[in-house]
Structure 1
Amino acid sequence: MEPHVGKGSFDHWPYLIHNSLETFCVGTFGIDAIDDKEFLQKYMDAVHEIVNMAMNRTIQFWTHNDFIYRLTGLKKKEDELVKIIHTMADVILQKKKAAMTNEVSNINSDFDTTETKYKPFLDHILELSKNGALTDKQIREELNTIIITGYETVASQLTFTLLQLGAYPEVQEKLYKELLQVLGPDRDVGKNDVNKLVYTNAVIMESLRTLISIPLMLRCVDKDVKLKNYTMHAGNYCIIFPLACDYDQSWGAHTDQFCPEKWLEGDFKDNKEFAAFGLGKRNCIGKTYAIVSMKVALAHLLRRYRVKADISKLKMKYEFVMRPISGHEISIEKRT
């Protein structure tokens, strides 16, 4: 983002989405970031397009018929996109297996020798495959799931968080002071630092409450649920809207305001209904990763730059994740 310093507003989304995917490669899979930028862009475009196709097919009931779906050419297009997505998983597996064969770790696993040794998600998956618990096809499916559902959601939430910090300079300065107190001006974030970033965590939680990247969740009702004026019967599906729940007055007064302090000592601190990552058995497997990843990104960005933004004209579109389509630019200034 350095070329944009002092040069007015710009779209920060492309920087965050690339960083999020590369971070996934290093932190979740334990491999070096993939150097082929053209392929990475092709992969991200394929994910974006196939998710939209799946959503459109859900709405356009006539395409539910496989014959019509093939006749329209959509099936052929889907197969091409799936091939690109599978290629990404294959590239990751090849890089990881090569590193393991050569007994070379592509990342520094010993961030702090006094703490638990870091083991990437992919290492656990490959260990399971040795015992026959997972086939190569299942491994690839697990990789596709964790990538597709992970990197874009984190980037989207960071996009919204930076917008809100830019629009609320007093909140940004409080966060900046905490970062300096815990980390100093330029030190990297260690594992022991994560839980010390209390106000940073409150900012992220408040961003998730007010501008969430996943605005709805689909669930199957496993037993009859009686509501005030309706009964949801077992075997049916329901849609949960976390954003609507999070603005409910049961949270307390002024739910429409961006106020991280309420996560520290106010109405939101112990609320058990917060559903940004889902609730119950089907809650998000990547919750901890997402929060830590956002803390690290904010720590590096906000110690280097002061962010400004105007969210009064923000417009968004739902495409599996909430994506800003206008009014989401930020400007940055170098901190001295």
Structure 2
Amino acid sequence: MIEVLILVVVILSIYLRNKEYNHREKYKGFYKLPTPSSSLPLLGNAHLFVGKNVLDIFSELVNTCGAPCYAHLPGRFYITASPEEYKIILNHPNSMGKSTTYNFVGRLFASSLLMAPDHQWKKNRKFLSKGFNQMILDSFVTVFYEKSEYFNVKLKNIDYDQNDIYSLFEKYTLDVFCEATLGIETKLIDEDDCEIVNFITKGQRILIGRLSNVFKHSDILFNLTEDGKYINESSQHFYNFVLDIIAKKRKMIAEGQDIMAQTNKLPVLDLLLSEKEAFEDNYIKEEMLLFAAAATDTTAYSMAYTCCLLGMHPEIQEKVLTEVMDAIGKDREITCNDLHQLKYTEMAISEAMRLIPVVPMIGRRAVGDIDLGTRVIPANTDVVCLFINTHRNEKYYPNPKKYDPRRFLPEEVAKRPQYSYLAFSGGPRNCIGMKYAMMVMKTTIANIVRNFHITTKYKSIDELEFESSIIMTTKHPLDCHFTPRK
């Protein structure tokens, strides 16, 4: 019996070694790439990154091996920072699906645009895009402006040394989202401790943090931890929040109170509810959680970083102020027509998103081979597109750590590869709400700058230390002060 077992083990070992050899022969170009030298059976290179933040993991890989490179974490990962490769990968039919690393957040967004399989994603994306057409977005600007006015009142009256700027921006952007997109007015910004915002921020850190802790990879084990219990309880709280809004909207529609529901062009929630035979509440709540999280964190942090950079560079802040005053003036309401005039303001925001991309990387899964021309990425490989490295590459952006909005003059943009700037990702699965986000940011930044002088203690971007789960944040509170203009 023992002899038979030994024979089986030997045959299996030979088979696996031959299979690995044949695979390496077939994909020589891929396996010639740099990779960490230290590797363990089953775990691969994962032991090198235990306890580290996901941004630190891939940044360390690139700093050690260069880009492109590959690693086993323990699955096979290909890491790139090339615009030319992004263009292929982000448009390739074999890499429309998300990386396996997203499975840790997939429990909250299983059927949403983030995690839906390709065939379902195409159908839902096409349908939901109707809720982001320009006519609907233009109708939101009144909400953006009114909310930004109230936000300015909060900026006048807070103690900046005692309050978290991130949290303030997050509560503001979630209030904007709830009224503009869901059609329900909220005043989360008045809450000292907003449970929903806390969940959106803390939840992503916990879920992505599972990547660097092998004991939390199992859902069963994770659910037994304090972090797992927090995710389960807080996600249910948010779902109840959304389901309550859905119930209110259904009642308003039934009573004929919801004017938007009577038109052919509807914001997202109204659109989903108008197709009640096709979309169940369970799907709607997942999609709304995704939109709320994206609208809250990405927009909030981008505005916080823009304000911080304007504080570091008063001469650029003055140019934004001059443009706003010339186009709108000191007190007039900001309208959708005004936003088209704020070209330098948009450049200042875009440059902030280049220098500090709130989504510094994304991951895709190669379900089949992807031919890059110089090499082939094998099927069943996770692909990491490291946007932050591209955004700070002097090949595309000379003196890359300098904050310079002129980089986004049309003639400057034309000089760079198409995929060298990916603040909203790229390809068919790019951010569905990028126009919405830019319109919120332009309205808010314009209204802040004409009412406040922004200052910060930082003199350079190098003084900021970053980490990332999905959203890139500083490891420390962000110093940013707003003094009312006289």
Following the alignment from structure 1 to structure 2, what is the Cα–Cα distance between the partners of residues 104 and 159? Answer: 36
Alignment equivalent of 1:122, drawn from 249, 256, 269: 269
Report if aligned partners of 2:302, 2:353 keep a CA contact under 8 Å in 1.
yes
Q: Which residue of 1 aligns with 2:392?
A: 247
- State the one-letter code of the partner of 1:3: N
| Cα deviation code 1:90-122 (max 9, x no counterpart) | 122123223323333599x9xxxxxx9974221
CA 1:10–1:269 in 2, change beyond 3 Å: closer, same or farther? Answer: farther
Tell me by how many angstroms 1:37 deviates: 5.6
CA 1:333–1:4 in 2, change beyond 3 Å: closer, same or farther? Answer: same
1:87-102 → structure 2 map (5 Å cutoff): 87-102=240-255
Following the alignment from structure 1 to structure 2, what is the Cα–Cα distance between the partners of residues 4 and 49? Answer: 23
| Cα deviation code 1:210-263 (max 9, x no counterpart) | 0111111011235423375x5322332111111111122332422221110121
Report if aligned partners of 1:310, 1:327 keep a CA contact under 8 Å in 2.
no
1:147-186 → structure 2 map (5 Å cutoff): 147-186=292-331
| Cα deviation code 1:274-305 (max 9, x no counterpart) | 11111101111111111111001111111100
CA 1:189–1:80 in 2, change beyond 3 Å: closer, same or farther? Answer: same
What is the number of residues matched between the two proteins? 325
Following the alignment from structure 1 to structure 2, what is the Cα–Cα distance between the partners of residues 39 and 259? Answer: 36
Report if aligned partners of 2:323, 2:342 keep a CA contact under 8 Å in 1.
yes
Q: Which residue of 1 aligns with 2:372?
A: 226
Following the alignment from structure 2 to structure 1, what is the Cα–Cα distance between the partners of residues 189 and 306? Answer: 29
Task: Kindly indicate whether residue 313 of structure 2 is the aligned counterpart of residue 144 of structure 1.
Answer: no
CA 1:10–1:57 in 2, change beyond 3 Å: closer, same or farther? Answer: closer
Q: Which residue of 1 aligns with 2:473?
A: 323
Following the alignment from structure 1 to structure 2, what is the Cα–Cα distance between the partners of residues 142 and 302? Answer: 33
Task: Kindly indicate whether residue 156 of structure 2 is the aligned counterpart of residue 2 of structure 1.
Answer: yes
CA 1:117–1:167 in 2, change beyond 3 Å: closer, same or farther? Answer: farther
CA 1:95–1:299 in 2, change beyond 3 Å: closer, same or farther? Answer: farther
- State the one-letter code of the partner of 2:431: C
Following the alignment from structure 2 to structure 1, what is the Cα–Cα distance between the partners of residues 232 and 190? Answer: 23
CA 1:73–1:185 in 2, change beyond 3 Å: closer, same or farther? Answer: closer
Tell me by how many angstroms 1:40 deviates: 7.6
Q: Which residue of 2 aligns with 1:112?
A: none
Following the alignment from structure 1 to structure 2, what is the Cα–Cα distance between the partners of residues 36 and 12? Answer: 12
* SS of alignment partner, residue 194 of structure 2: helix
TM-score by length of 1: 0.87
* SS of alignment partner, residue 43 of structure 1: helix
Following the alignment from structure 1 to structure 2, what is the Cα–Cα distance between the partners of residues 163 and 335? Answer: 17
CA 1:118–1:269 in 2, change beyond 3 Å: closer, same or farther? Answer: farther
Report if aligned partners of 2:172, 2:188 keep a CA contact under 8 Å in 1.
no
Tell me by how many angstroms 1:197 deviates: 1.0
Following the alignment from structure 2 to structure 1, what is the Cα–Cα distance between the partners of residues 337 and 265? Answer: 13
- State the one-letter code of the partner of 2:156: E
Q: Which residue of 1 aligns with 2:456?
A: 309
Q: Which residue of 2 aligns with 1:283?
A: 430
Alignment equivalent of 2:406, drawn from 261, 264, 273: 261
Q: Which residue of 1 aligns with 2:208?
A: 55
Q: Which residue of 1 aligns with 2:482?
A: 332
CA 1:270–1:4 in 2, change beyond 3 Å: closer, same or farther? Answer: farther
Identity of aligned residues (%): 22
Following the alignment from structure 1 to structure 2, what is the Cα–Cα distance between the partners of residues 256 and 237? Answer: 29
Q: Which residue of 1 aligns with 2:69?
A: none
Following the alignment from structure 2 to structure 1, what is the Cα–Cα distance between the partners of residues 245 and 193? Answer: 12
Tell me by how many angstroms 1:39 deviates: 10
Unaligned runs of 5+ residues in structure 1 are: 110-115
Tell me by how many angstroms 1:322 deviates: 1.2
CA 1:53–1:325 in 2, change beyond 3 Å: closer, same or farther? Answer: closer
After superposing the two structures, state which structure 1 stretch, 31-40 or 168-177, moved more: 31-40
CA 1:307–1:101 in 2, change beyond 3 Å: closer, same or farther? Answer: same
Q: Which residue of 2 aligns with 1:197?
A: 342
Report if aligned partners of 2:452, 2:484 keep a CA contact under 8 Å in 1.
yes
CA 1:185–1:75 in 2, change beyond 3 Å: closer, same or farther? Answer: closer
Unaligned runs of 5+ residues in structure 2 are: 1-154
Tell me by how many angstroms 1:267 deviates: 2.9
Following the alignment from structure 1 to structure 2, what is the Cα–Cα distance between the partners of residues 14 and 106? Answer: 33
Following the alignment from structure 1 to structure 2, what is the Cα–Cα distance between the partners of residues 238 and 92? Answer: 37
Tell me by how many angstroms 1:189 deviates: 1.9
Tell me by how many angstroms 1:315 deviates: 2.4
TM-score by length of 2: 0.61
Report if aligned partners of 1:34, 1:40 keep a CA contact under 8 Å in 2.
no
Report if aligned partners of 1:47, 1:81 keep a CA contact under 8 Å in 2.
no
Following the alignment from structure 1 to structure 2, what is the Cα–Cα distance between the partners of residues 36 and 250? Answer: 42
Report if aligned partners of 1:51, 1:320 keep a CA contact under 8 Å in 2.
yes
After superposing the two structures, state which structure 1 stretch, 242-251 or 32-41, moved more: 32-41
Alignment equivalent of 1:238, drawn from 367, 383, 390: 383
* Alignment RMSD (CA, Å): 2.8
Tell me by how many angstroms 1:22 deviates: 0.2
Following the alignment from structure 1 to structure 2, what is the Cα–Cα distance between the partners of residues 204 and 48? Answer: 22
Following the alignment from structure 1 to structure 2, what is the Cα–Cα distance between the partners of residues 9 and 65? Answer: 39
